């Protein structure tokens, strides 16, 4: 089992920056990919960015050149969000994918971009 705990969400003005973090615990040796999804009210959950254990990254087109995902060890992943827009407002969920394909989810952290 893997547990994911997010932190760092909040309220920020348009054009501002925010960093969210996710720490994994438990059977972390089973994790390959870690990443972030988001879900805005009335919309489906969508991939924001993810990163493999080997460091390969993947971004949604809507966040390329604004967001950066990083991973400082096997179990902590960060999402640096710059030039935030109101449409980035959503609940951001940390996700981990094991080598087996099993997925784990965090509880979510609210990010609100508003003046």
Assess contact for 63 and 57: CB atoms under 8 A: no
> What's the mean pLDDT when you consider all of the chain?
95
Query: Coil, helix or strand for 53?
Result: coil
For residue 74, the model assigns a pLDDT of: 67
Mean of the pLDDT values across residues 33-44? Answer: 96
Q: 109-113 and 10-12: which strand pairing?
A: parallel
Whether residue 38 is predicted with pLDDT greater than 80 in this model: the reply is yes
Mean of the pLDDT values across residues 26-50? Answer: 95
For residue 31, CA distances in Å to 38, 39, 45, 77, 99 come to: 20, 23, 21, 12, 6
Dihedral pair phi/psi, residue 74, rounded to 5°: -70, -15
For residue 3, the model assigns a pLDDT of: 96
Mean of the pLDDT values across residues 22-51? Answer: 95
CA atoms within 13 A of residue 1's CA, in its CB half-sphere? 2
Rounded distance, CA 60 to CA 47, Å?
A: 6
For residue 5, the model assigns a pLDDT of: 95
Q: How many percent of the chain have pLDDT more than 90?
A: 92
**pLDDT tens profile 50-85:** 999 999 999 999 999 999 999 987 689 999 999 999
Residues in CB range of 56: below 8 A, 6 or more apart:
none
């Amino acid at each position: 089992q893997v547990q994911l705990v997010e932190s760092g969400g909040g309220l920020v003005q348009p054009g501002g920056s925010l960093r969210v973090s996710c720490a994994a615990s438990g059977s972390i040796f089973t994790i390959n990919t870690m990443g972030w999804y988001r879900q805005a009210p009335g919309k489906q959950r969508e991939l924001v960015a993810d990163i493999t254990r080997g460091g390969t990254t993947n971004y949604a087109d809507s966040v390329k050149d604004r967001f950066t995902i990083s991973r400082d060890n096997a179990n902590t992943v960060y999402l640096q969000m710059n030039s935030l827009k109101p449409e980035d407002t959503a609940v951001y969920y940390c996700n981990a994918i094991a080598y087996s394909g099993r997925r784990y989810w965090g509880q979510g952290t609210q990010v609100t971009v508003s003046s």
